[in-house]
C-alpha cells in the first residue's frame, strides 16, 4: 500500500485554521481550537460515560419501588 492509499488516524496540529484535528481512517472526526479544548472535551465525554454507567448499574441493582 503506498502513501496515497493509507488512511490516517490520529491527532494532528493544523496551521489554517490553527488548532488540532482528530482524524479516523482518513476522515476528520472533530476540530478543536487548542489541545486544551481537546482535553476538556475528552474529559467531559469520559465523565458523561461514567455517569451513564453509574445510572445503569444502579438501575440493575436497586429494587423497584413502584
To the question of pTM greater than 0.75 for the whole model, the response is no
Range of the domain at 34: 10-61
Q: Is the pLDDT of residue 5 over 90?
A: no
The pLDDT value given to residue 17:
87
Query: How many domains, in total, are found in the chain?
Result: 1
Give mean pLDDT, residues 40-49: 96
Task: Decide if 2 is inside a domain.
Answer: no
Q: How far apart are CA 47 and CA 53, in angstroms?
A: 10
The pLDDT value given to residue 62:
80
Task: Decide if 66 is inside a domain.
Answer: no
Q: How far apart are CA 40 and CA 1, in angstroms?
A: 36
Task: Decide if 53 is inside a domain.
Answer: yes
Task: Decide if 4 is inside a domain.
Answer: no
Give me the residue label for grid cell 479544548: 37
Yes or no: say if 38 and 21 are a contact pair by the CB < 8 Å rule: no
Amino acid at each position: 500500500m503506498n502513501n496515497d492509499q493509507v488512511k490516517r488516524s490520529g491527532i494532528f496540529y493544523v496551521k489554517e485554521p490553527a488548532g488540532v484535528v482528530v482524524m479516523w481512517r482518513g476522515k476528520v472526526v472533530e476540530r478543536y481550537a487548542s489541545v486544551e479544548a481537546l482535553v476538556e472535551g475528552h474529559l467531559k465525554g469520559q465523565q458523561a460515560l461514567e455517569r451513564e454507567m453509574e445510572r445503569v448499574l444502579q438501575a440493575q441493582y436497586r429494587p423497584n419501588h413502584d
